[in-house]
Every structure is written in structure tokens, then in C-alpha cells.
Amino acid sequence: MALHPGDLLRDRYRIQQAVAQGGMGSIYLADDVRLTGRLCAVKEVIGDPTLSPQAQQEAREQFYREASVLARLDHPSLPKVSDYFSEDDREYLIMDFVPGQDLSDIVSAARDEGRFLPENTVLGWARQLIDALLYLHTQDPPVLHRDIKPDNLKLTPNGTIKLVDFGLVKLLDPDERTVTIVQGRGTAHYTPLEQYGGDTGHTDGRSDIYSLAATLYHLLTNEAPMEAKQRFLKPSSLPALRDINPLIAQRTERAVLWALSLHPDERPPTVGHFRDALFEGIFPDQTGNRVYVPASLQEWLERAMADRTQRWLAVFVALFALLAVFITLVPR
């Protein structure tokens, strides 16, 4: 039964309104009546009524194991989980309420206005998200998100990106050594092929890398990438980023397309490798060794011109380059 405004959970969390609702649960905005002025997000997880009593009990135990892992997480780009409990055959996760705009709304506004989001701005968000994924993937056991997308990213008033919509999912395979914290198979445009197996599909950190790259593709081009299933049938059907937005640097395009490889083995092996490619230009060569690929002068100038703090330096370098060419052409 759905919660309504005014309902009180555990004598502490008074529901204000529903924020999002789906088949497997809902998210509500609530007041913490013990801490006056504190707003929190209430994630309600609905169990599967078709499961046997034993399976439902196992699912509840799994909820508590995973919730205890989430409650220990502490990172600036992750909402803090402060409480979790069961009530009326439903599980609840209490998190900090995150104010701000969804990145899906921000990129939609840019598209409606006929402009692209500045590359440096998007890469600044990417740096924060990569740091959050490095933190999640190095937990013991590693924590996967599996549903990174613009809808699940919020830009707070102070400029911090928050990776939101934490949930709980499946009974983990005994041999699986990760905790998966988002329910379902993800969202098609941002979901790698291996995740289409749902609860039976094998996923690891490279699945999150794909979803992050798909999100960056959308933010940089105003278009969500083609679904992995469609790309599998037509391998060359994904437009290159610079074909849509020619202002994007070649290095950025190359890193994002690498991370969007359909097979996990062809993607960056870790988030750290993706970070090094995206920001340092370090890519694998044909033998698998990591090598630095220097940016061309044109690419450096494009990035510098996009960065207000380096724009005058870019103009000076461009003028110096033109002067050098002029001197070489002057007859002696």
C-alpha cells in the first residue's frame, strides 16, 4: 500500500510527498521529526509476492546485509544512508535528501536551446563521478551501481555531483564478490550487453564504466547513445561524438568510445584506466602497453579556448604559431 503525505514511519519519518514511483518501489521526501529541519529521502523496496516464504526471508536478510554496506559508505558524491528497516513486509532505506537539478533536465534544456554543454563542465562532473566509482569499486566487497544515467545524477547548488537512487536488488550468487546497489537491469541506453541478463548476468566494474561513458556521450552530444542490443546487430551504427559535436576534443571522444566497447574485455579494465585516458591521454597500444598519446596543437587550443582561465594563453600560442609560420615563409 502506497505511503501518503502525513504518514509516519517508525515514529520518525513523516512523509511529505512521493518523488518517484515504479513497479518495484518508490522514493518519498520526508521530514525527520527527531531532527527538526532535516529532510530525507525514503526508498521503499517492495518484495516479490510470488516468492516462497523461505525466498522472501532470504531476500530480507539480503536487504539487511546490503543496507549495512551502504550505511558504511562515506563519499562527497554519494548520498549518506542513515537508517534501514522493515515494516509491513516492505523494506525501507533512509538517505540524505539531495537538492539540485537532475543532469537529464540540464542536458534537455541545452538541447532545446540549440547548444551543447561546455566540454570542460562535463569533464568536471566526470572527474567527480570517476572518483566516486573508484571509491565504490575498491570497497570490500566491491560495490557496483549498475544504473548510472543522467536521471540519477544531481548537480547540487554548491556544484557537487551526486550519484543518487540507491536501492537493493538480488540475492547474490555465492561465488559473486560484489554488492549491487541498484534494482533491475538499468536503463537501456546506458546498459551494457552483459547486464541484460538481469539477475543472472555477470557484471563487474566495467559495467559501470560503460554506463558512465554512455552518460558522458549523452551530456556531450545532447543525444543518448544507441542501445547496446541495437549496436550488437549493427556494430558501426554508433555515431562518433565529434560527428555530432565537433567542439569535443579527440582525446575525449577516443576515451568515451573505448569505454563504450560492447565486450567488457575491450573496455578500460578499471575506472582508473578510464580516468587516465580521459584526462591524461594514456591509452593501450596494440601490444596492450599503456602509452601517452599527446594532444595535437589544434586539440590543445580547442580545450584552452573553451577554458576561460586559459583563453588568453591559447590566443598567445596561436599568434606565436602564426608568427613562426610567417617567419619561415619570408624570403632571406
Catalytic residues: 147
Residue labelled with grid coordinates 594563453: 313
Q: Where are the beta strands (DSSP E) in 128-286?
A: 143-144, 153-155, 161-163, 179-180, 282-284
Instruction: Supply the Cα-derived Rg of the chain in whole angstroms.
Output: 23
Eight-state DSSP code of residue 265: G
Give CA–CA dist 101/91, Å, rounded. 27
Give CA–CA dist 154/12, Å, rounded. 26
Give CA–CA dist 151/319, Å, rounded. 43
Burial of 242 (0-12, 13-18, 19+ CB in 10 A): middle
Q: Which residue type sits at 28?
A: Y
Phi, psi of 171 (to 5 degrees): -70, 125
Give CA–CA dist 41/18, Å, rounded. 10
Give CA–CA dist 29/101, Å, rounded. 15
Give CA–CA dist 267/255, Å, rounded. 10
Give CA–CA dist 192/195, Å, rounded. 6
- The answer to whether the beta carbons of residues 101 and 164 sit under 8 Å apart is no
